[in-house]
């Protein structure tokens, strides 16, 4: 509810007298009728105050709507990028969200949007489309053969199995999506995240410090690898950000303390 600031003590009596006079004038002008026991002027005064509140509230709502319409992201400066990182279901369930946010902030990157979402099947199919199956299967086949293992599937069917596992994984619990902006933000965030397989990720990276899962162990359990976070690559960053955040959910127009040293980005 809006806060009404009354005038200083010395001005209040005069204000009340004028309001009561206005109430009486309006009551007579518009033939406002009240119950027999009502204090006519006070009832009319209450009506005026209520009307003033409603008018003020409508004006505020209009201003908010106008502000929303006007707010558009400025073009990014040269060398400045936006990317998407989201904490996957295993990271959320393990309580790692705060740790990951802290690393982003300590690196000097700017968080311009954040929300918790429980992703649905439609989003998962869009993010992990069937068209990716052959490419994923070919990559898996190469890894199998490099280790001297047999690959008894077609690339397509193995890729589809992986996609299905990824969809189950990403929709199994909420995720926390974070929109990030900064100098070379895409490559910086991916460097912070580390190798896709946490068992190979370097110490100091998010996956290297917070997971030890491996593809072989995940295959034994017929599940997706649990690697804590997703970070967009240069090809997918813009598209994935738009899939996760609307323009009204991004807030780039504030200045961090780090920007005061480096220059605003």
Mean pLDDT (whole number) for 164-184: 97
Mean pLDDT (whole number) for 107-119: 98
DSSP structure string for 162-190: HHHHHHHHHTSS-EEEEEEEEETHHHHHH
Mean pLDDT (whole number) for 61-82: 77
Rounded Cα–Cα distance for residues 1 and 265 (Å): 36
Q: What is the CATH number of the domain that holds 228?
A: 3.30.70.141
Q: Which is more confident, 67 or 235?
A: 235
Active site residue 230: yes
Mean pLDDT (whole number) for 237-253: 95
Task: Judge if 114 and 14 occupy the same domain.
Answer: no
Whether 32 has a pLDDT exceeding 70, the answer reads no
User: What percentage of the chain has pLDDT greater than the value 90?
Assistant: 59
Rounded Cα–Cα distance for residues 23 and 42 (Å): 8
Mean pLDDT (whole number) for 203-229: 94
The least confident of 46-50, 69-73, 95-99 is 69-73
Task: Judge if 190 and 97 occupy the same domain.
Answer: yes
Residue 101 forms part of a structural domain: yes
In this prediction, residue 35 carries a pLDDT of: 56
Q: Which is more confident, 50 or 170?
A: 170
Task: Judge if 106 and 234 occupy the same domain.
Answer: yes
Residue 209 forms part of a structural domain: yes
Residue 27 forms part of a structural domain: yes
Q: Is 203 left (phi over 0), alpha (psi -120 to 50) or beta?
A: beta
Whether 27 has a pLDDT exceeding 90, the answer reads no
Task: Judge if 61 and 177 occupy the same domain.
Answer: no
Question: pLDDT digits over 179-192, tens only?
Answer: 999 999 999 999 99
Give the orientation angle of helix 97-106 with respect to helix 185-193, to 10 degrees.
Answer: 130
In this prediction, residue 54 carries a pLDDT of: 66
Task: Judge if 20 and 102 occupy the same domain.
Answer: no
Task: Judge if 103 and 225 occupy the same domain.
Answer: yes
Task: Judge if 108 and 198 occupy the same domain.
Answer: yes
Task: Judge if 95 and 27 occupy the same domain.
Answer: no
Domain count, the chain: 2
Q: Which is more confident, 234 or 46?
A: 234
Whether 114 has a pLDDT exceeding 70, the answer reads yes
Task: Judge if 182 and 237 occupy the same domain.
Answer: yes
Task: Judge if 84 and 22 occupy the same domain.
Answer: no
Q: How does residue 200 score in pLDDT terms, banded at 50, 70 and 90?
A: very high
DSSP one-letter code for 1: -
The neighbour count for residue 175, using CB atoms within 10 Å, is: 25
Cβ-in-10-Å burial (0-12, 13-18, 19+) of 144 comes to: middle
Whether 82 has a pLDDT exceeding 90, the answer reads yes
Task: Judge if 55 and 178 occupy the same domain.
Answer: no
Could you tell me whether strands 229-231 and 80-87 are parallel, antiparallel, or unpaired per DSSP bridges?
antiparallel
Mean pLDDT (whole number) for 82-110: 98
Whether 51 has a pLDDT exceeding 60, the answer reads yes
Residue 151 forms part of a structural domain: no
With a threshold of 0.85, does the pTM exceed it? no
Task: Judge if 182 and 101 occupy the same domain.
Answer: yes
Mean pLDDT (whole number) for 19-46: 66
In this prediction, residue 218 carries a pLDDT of: 92
Q: How does residue 143 score in pLDDT terms, banded at 50, 70 and 90?
A: confident
Could you tell me whether strands 110-117 and 175-183 are parallel, antiparallel, or unpaired per DSSP bridges?
antiparallel
Contacts of 245 by beta carbon, 8 Å cutoff, 6+ apart? 84, 113, 115, 177, 179
Written as six digits, the tokens of 235 are 């090809």
Residue 147 forms part of a structural domain: no
In this prediction, residue 210 carries a pLDDT of: 98
Which candidate in 160, 207, 230, 245 is catalytic?
Answer: 230
Written as six digits, the tokens of 248 are 């009204």
Q: Which domain holds residue 184?
A: 80-118+173-262
């Amino acid at each position: 509810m809006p806060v009404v600031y009354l005038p200083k003590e010395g001005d209040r009596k005069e204000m009340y007298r004028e309001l009561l006079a206005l109430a009486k004038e309006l009551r007579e002008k518009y033939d406002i009728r009240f119950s027999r026991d009502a204090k006519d002027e006070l009832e009319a005064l209450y009506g005026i105050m209520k009307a003033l509140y409603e008018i003020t509230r409508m004006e505020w709502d209009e201003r908010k709507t106008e502000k929303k319409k006007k707010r558009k992201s400025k073009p990014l400066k040269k060398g400045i990028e936006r990317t998407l990182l989201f904490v996957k279901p295993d990271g959320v369930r393990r309580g790692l969200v705060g740790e990951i946010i802290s690393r982003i902030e300590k690196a000097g990157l700017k968080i311009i949007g954040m929300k918790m979402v429980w992703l649905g099947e439609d989003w998962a199919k869009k993010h992990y489309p069937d068209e990716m199956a052959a490419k994923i299967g070919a990559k898996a086949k190469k890894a199998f053969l490099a280790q001297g293992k047999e690959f008894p599937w077609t690339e397509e069917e193995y890729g589809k199995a992986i996609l299905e596992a990824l969809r189950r994984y990403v929709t199994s619990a909420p995720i926390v999506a974070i929109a990030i902006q900064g100098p070379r933000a895409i490559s910086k965030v991916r460097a912070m995240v580390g190798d896709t397989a946490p068992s190979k990720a370097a110490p100091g990276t998010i996956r290297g410090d917070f997971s030890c899962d491996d593809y072989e162990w995940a295959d034994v359990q017929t599940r997706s690898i649990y690697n804590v976070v997703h970070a967009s690559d240069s090809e997918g960053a813009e598209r994935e950000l738009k899939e996760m955040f609307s323009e009204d959910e991004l807030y780039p127009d504030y200045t961090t303390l780090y920007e005061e040293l480096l220059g605003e980005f």
